[in-house]
Amino acid sequence: MKRRFTSYILFLFCGVLAFGQEVVGVVERSSDQKPIPTVHIINLNKVTMSITDKEGKFTINAEVNDTLYFSYLGYKSIKVRVSNDLIKYPNTHFQLTELALALEEVVVRPYQLTGFLDIDARNIPINRTRRYSIPGLPSGGYEAGSRTPGTAMRILQAVSNPADFLYNIFGKKPNELRKLKKARANNELRDLLAVKYDRKTLEELLQIDRIDLDEILRKCSFSDSFIKGANDLQILEAISGCYEEYKVLKR
Confidence of residue 209 (pLDDT cuts 50, 70, 90): confident
CA–CA distances in Å: residue 97 to residues 24, 107, 187, 205, 208: 20, 29, 28, 21, 25
Confidence of residue 122 (pLDDT cuts 50, 70, 90): low
Q: Is 232 helix (H, G, I), strand (E, B) or coil?
A: helix
Q: What is the mean pLDDT of the chain?
A: 75
Confidence of residue 94 (pLDDT cuts 50, 70, 90): very high
Asked if residue 203 has pLDDT above 70, the reply is yes
Confidence of residue 242 (pLDDT cuts 50, 70, 90): confident
Asked if residue 52 has pLDDT above 90, the reply is yes
pLDDT score recorded for residue 206: 84
Q: Judge contact between 186 and 49, C-beta under 8 A.
A: yes
The residues near 195 (Cβ < 8 Å, ≥ 6 apart) are 231
Asked if residue 72 has pLDDT above 60, the reply is yes
Q: Judge contact between 232 and 199, C-beta under 8 A.
A: yes
Domains present along the chain, CATH in parentheses: 21-115 (2.60.40.1120), 161-250 (no CATH)
Distance of CA 3 to the CA centre of its chain: 51
> E strand or H helix at 16, and its extent?
helix 2-19
Segment 214-227 mean pLDDT: 87
Q: 12 in the Ramachandran plot: left (φ > 0), alpha (ψ -120 to 50) or beta? A: alpha
- Among the residue ranges 85-99, 196-210, 234-248, the one predicted with the least confidence is 234-248
pLDDT score recorded for residue 220: 82
> E strand or H helix at 69, and its extent?
strand 67-71
Is pTM beyond 0.75? Reply is: no
Q: Judge contact between 35 and 20, C-beta under 8 A.
A: no
Segment 221-246 mean pLDDT: 87
Distance of CA 19 to the CA centre of its chain: 27
What span, in angstroms and rounded, lies between the C-alpha atoms of 203 and 210?
A: 7
Q: Is 116 helix (H, G, I), strand (E, B) or coil?
A: coil
Asked if residue 156 has pLDDT above 50, the reply is no
What span, in angstroms and rounded, lies between the C-alpha atoms of 71 and 131?
A: 40
pLDDT score recorded for residue 16: 43
